[in-house]
Amino acid sequence: MTTMDPTLPHNSISAGTEDTHVVRSYAEQIATNETFKLDYDIDRASGRMLMANASAVDRRAVVDISWLAASAEAYCISADIKDYVIAEVPIVEGDVPNRNMHAFLTSRLVEFLPKFGVQAYKTFVGKPVFYEHQHDDNSKAKGVILDASMRQVGGRMYTTILKAFDRTKDRHLAEDVLSGKRRGHSMSAWTANFDCAACTHRWDTSYPAACECVKGPLHARAQGRYYGMGTILPGRRLVYAAPHQFYFFESSSVGDPANYGAFQTQQTTPAT
């Protein structure tokens, strides 16, 4: 998704890569999901979630949910972790363009953002969860994002998030997520500008400021030749955009994700 943020220098949203010129097949990306497996438990005495990762890391990582009650009022969701269905989602694959031809560079995902006091991928944490990007009103949130991490799987870097769906807010959606009936996910982010992967031109997200790779030279447009995102220029240069100075502001349950790899790998309910 792309949109505008008045607090940023130029304003907008999306996803990115710099030196990867091959978009992976649907089957290959789905197969990657099999490497992501988590089990969950809840340490209710301390108010924290314990995440046992049995595949990527042989350790137990603590996920702080002490702020959940505070977010409940803002998003009109439950303050009790036991009301949630939790899904793990590899939401962003670093350095690979999605179907919108936006690619988030791994180097930028791990970049520290002084404005937020965290690395860019961590801006997912505490953000609302929606249905099909209906994010015009925070009170419509279906849940909240509990955690975000960067993981290397098969030589590629992924931003993986834990999404909590409130069963008291939308029981049908939560049950569909839990059963695996609804597995697709997507995200939204604000970005100040884009970099063209083919020529490195940076523009402020407005179409007139884009490079000829995206818009096409005047003579080509006059002849009806197609240029733009997703085309391959001489030298096997794929045209796509890499967001620069971005942060994430929501993730949604969707039926048709732009990133074919953004399907939940496991879902559960907190231990009782």
Q: What is the pLDDT of residues 181-207, one digit of tens each?
A: 888 899 999 999 999 999 999 998 887
Q: CA separation (Å) from 210 to 167, 193, 194, 195, 204?
A: 44, 10, 9, 9, 8
Give the strand pairing for 128-131 and 241-253: parallel
Residue 57 pLDDT exceeds 60: no
Instruction: Please answer whether residues 162 and 87 qualify as being in contact, where contact means their C-beta atoms are separated by less than 8 angstroms.
Output: yes
Q: How confident is the model at residue 21 (pLDDT cuts 50, 70, 90)?
A: very low
Percent of the chain's residues with pLDDT above 90:
51
Q: For residues 27 and 12, what is the distance between their CA atoms, to the nearest angstrom?
A: 31
- According to DSSP, residue 54 is labeled S
Closest alpha carbon to 206 in 214, 218, 217: 214
Amino acid at 211: C
Residue 236 is predicted with a pLDDT of: 86
Q: For residues 43 and 272, what is the distance between their CA atoms, to the nearest angstrom?
A: 10
Amino acid at 268: T
Which H/E stretch holds residue 28?
helix 26-32
Q: For residues 92 and 149, what is the distance between their CA atoms, to the nearest angstrom?
A: 11
Instruction: Please answer whether residues 166 and 174 qualify as being in contact, where contact means their C-beta atoms are separated by less than 8 angstroms.
Output: yes
Q: For residues 90 and 106, what is the distance between their CA atoms, to the nearest angstrom?
A: 14
| 182 or 114, higher pLDDT | 114
Average pLDDT over residues 244-267: 74
